[in-house]
Structure 1
């Protein structure tokens, strides 16, 4: 086998054998996981679902997980994390809303045959291990990972007892609205309540009254929530108050059992840096230098400069973005604390330059 590979290398020099194969199969690469777009479906005026067939090395996703997607814009590769909306056991798909340069390009310009750069799926926002009654609370694009769960569970388990409460501004803004209605018609144990804030105002989580009206047995269900920060903060506060008051039994709320609430956040609150913060950021291994302000996470600074930055949750939770600090100081955008010791591992997704910074990457 080794001799054959050496012979192939001689015949294909200066290209490697895998480079020749990539000319015929765009998703084949021994260096970088890729996927070829197979279908693009417009969901709303501002969102689209992009289906793709991944190349060798892709790990099948679990319902509710996310993956990093790489897109080249003006010759620079940008990486962003997107929830996977396709059911488990099928080729993956991402549902993207036109917010920001990368997401906007994906929604507006992606066509079948385009190649996406991929990283393996990750995340613990997944279906419970054992069957149980579920309550899904979503708002806006927060429906995306939950849709993967619904598509995975409801058609395969007609006895699955699932209640979905989804909040959107208008019916036209509600992603997957028609598909969800069809599933609810087909499977009686799947109940959907669409809440339109343009007509009804925000869903009130200040008490349990609204929740009890829509789903009387909400406290007995394992709950999942995904959406904007304010929506999730309100839901988290309601569950905490219900636990304190005894509406949810403490013996079940601390486990992955009925009465629990699992949350998936897309963002975290970041504080801006001081006016004098910022500086020249040097990415040593990538041989790049960039002037950065004191408000932009170093992860974004690197990606915008074309540096392949490790990342995951992009909110300081998973620690996938840890990168050695060679010199300089950084500001933690969550707390405002300035720190920096040579060799220290920093979270680039929640750290900004506090003067000149040298990173190993």
Structure 2
């Protein structure tokens, strides 16, 4: 051990001001102790606008649970951008994300990622996970909301002969449905999985209606007795939540619904007067309405803003407030003291605002 410490000190003298691991990172990107990274091992197109990106993470990666998400960093034009993506690989396997080309970062990942690329990582998070004890499950998903549920299905169904899962997935068409063929193969192979695809362009243009129990009664008569999971667009989740909370539905009252949202729940009418937002260090300013998140305002005028989940969970976007007041778009609360750390993804200007960025 003493010899190892001496060698490390000698190496540090030779590499100052950098650390020896900085040079090791040039040979092996996963060796970095300063930033968790992953090397892309596979890129599989899922639809015309989506792809699954598998990667091998560094040793500091915490094995994910089925249904969790992680922040992924990608460099575009020399600038590192962070976004949060659900992990679609089964638990116990190297992670993977399934990305749809919406927005600059997701589009870059889908269109440009290749094997051998390096992704920057943060540990997996989230409590949208399988129940602790076995029980019948109902999965309600729409669009890319299938991604975390796919991790659950890939984890649970092949390993549990007693699995009882009904998946109802809504998509515009078969061509736009993620994992379509794999899900049909799994349902053929494992009797504990039943898959119902609801194509809105085939079903007479009608969406899966969750405003009342009619559609669910027809698809899965015992839906209220199952542990239910839902993930998808906000209006889809709002309808599901309202149905389960409805006092008119005795079945829903006996069940339990777990929801995963890809966007924050904003309070209607929380937009206020807005104002001039000044980004002091970047020497930029922009006039915004009272319902525009400060994160969006900064990115719109070219400020490199820290961000992560973009929905008020991970707190990666915290930015010091120099002056002014902001409004929390989730609650409507107006707040702000000099030096206060503001979550820019869920706060908007309530008058003139100065941010230390």
Give the structure-1-normalised TM-score: 0.88
Task: For residue 347 of structure 1, report the CA deviation from its aligned partner.
Answer: 2.1
Query: 1:103 is matched with which residue: 103, 106, 111?
Result: 106
Q: Distance in 1 between matches of 2:313 and 2:121?
A: 21
Task: For residue 194 of structure 1, report the CA deviation from its aligned partner.
Answer: 0.3
Query: 1:36 is matched with which residue: 29, 34, 39?
Result: 39
| Kept in 1: contact 2:321–2:341 (CA 8 A) | yes
Aligned 1:117-132 pairs, distance under 5 A: 117-132=120-135
Q: Distance in 2 between matches of 1:18 and 1:351?
A: 39
- Which residue in the other structure is 1:329 paired with? 325
| Kept in 1: contact 2:284–2:303 (CA 8 A) | yes
Query: 2:272 aligned with 1:267, yes or no?
Result: no
Q: Distance in 1 between matches of 2:157 and 2:200?
A: 27
Q: Distance in 1 between matches of 2:96 and 2:230?
A: 20
Q: CA RMSD in A?
A: 2.2
| Kept in 1: contact 2:87–2:95 (CA 8 A) | yes
Q: How many residues align?
A: 345
| Kept in 1: contact 2:42–2:114 (CA 8 A) | yes
For the structure 1 residues 33 and 292, does the alpha-carbon distance in structure 2 shift closer, same or farther, using more than 3 Å as the test? farther
| Kept in 1: contact 2:243–2:252 (CA 8 A) | no
For the residue of structure 1 that corresponds to 2:154, the secondary structure is: helix
Query: 2:147 aligned with 1:144, yes or no?
Result: yes
| Kept in 2: contact 1:272–1:294 (CA 8 A) | no
- Which residue in the other structure is 2:337 paired with? 341
| Kept in 1: contact 2:142–2:169 (CA 8 A) | yes
Query: 2:134 aligned with 1:134, yes or no?
Result: no
User: 1:93-149 CA distances to partner (integer Å, 9 max, x unpaired)?
Assistant: 000001000001111000001111111110010000111110000000000000000
- Which residue in the other structure is 1:218 paired with? 223
Q: Distance in 1 between matches of 2:233 and 2:333?
A: 26
Query: 2:245 aligned with 1:247, yes or no?
Result: no
Q: Distance in 2 between matches of 1:123 and 1:145?
A: 10
For the structure 1 residues 227 and 138, does the alpha-carbon distance in structure 2 shift closer, same or farther, using more than 3 Å as the test? same
- Which residue in the other structure is 1:59 paired with? 62
157-166 or 349-358: bigger deviation:
349-358
For the residue of structure 1 that corresponds to 2:168, the secondary structure is: strand
Task: For residue 292 of structure 1, report the CA deviation from its aligned partner.
Answer: 3.9
- Which residue in the other structure is 1:305 paired with? 303
Q: Distance in 2 between matches of 1:16 and 1:168?
A: 50
For the residue of structure 1 that corresponds to 2:245, the secondary structure is: helix
Query: 2:92 aligned with 1:89, yes or no?
Result: yes
| Kept in 2: contact 1:290–1:301 (CA 8 A) | no
For the residue of structure 2 that corresponds to 1:102, the secondary structure is: helix
Aligned 1:181-220 pairs, distance under 5 A: 181-200=184-203, 201-220=206-225
- Which residue in the other structure is 2:9 paired with? 6
- Which residue in the other structure is 2:288 paired with? 294
| Kept in 2: contact 1:206–1:234 (CA 8 A) | yes
User: 1:281-325 CA distances to partner (integer Å, 9 max, x unpaired)?
Assistant: 23xxxx54442443543344567633544x44x223565644443
Q: Distance in 1 between matches of 2:87 and 2:287?
A: 32
User: 1:257-297 CA distances to partner (integer Å, 9 max, x unpaired)?
Assistant: xx100000111355685676132123xxxx54442443543
Query: 2:166 is matched with which residue: 163, 166, 170?
Result: 163
113-122 or 289-298: bigger deviation:
289-298
Q: Distance in 2 between matches of 1:6 and 1:68?
A: 34
| Kept in 1: contact 2:225–2:251 (CA 8 A) | no
Q: Distance in 1 between matches of 2:155 and 2:249?
A: 35
Structure 1: any 5+ residue segments left out of the alignment? 254-258
For the residue of structure 2 that corresponds to 1:27, the secondary structure is: helix
Structure 2: any 5+ residue segments left out of the alignment? none
| Kept in 1: contact 2:306–2:316 (CA 8 A) | no
Give the structure-2-normalised TM-score: 0.89
For the residue of structure 2 that corresponds to 1:85, the secondary structure is: coil
For the residue of structure 1 that corresponds to 2:98, the secondary structure is: strand
For the residue of structure 2 that corresponds to 1:144, the secondary structure is: helix
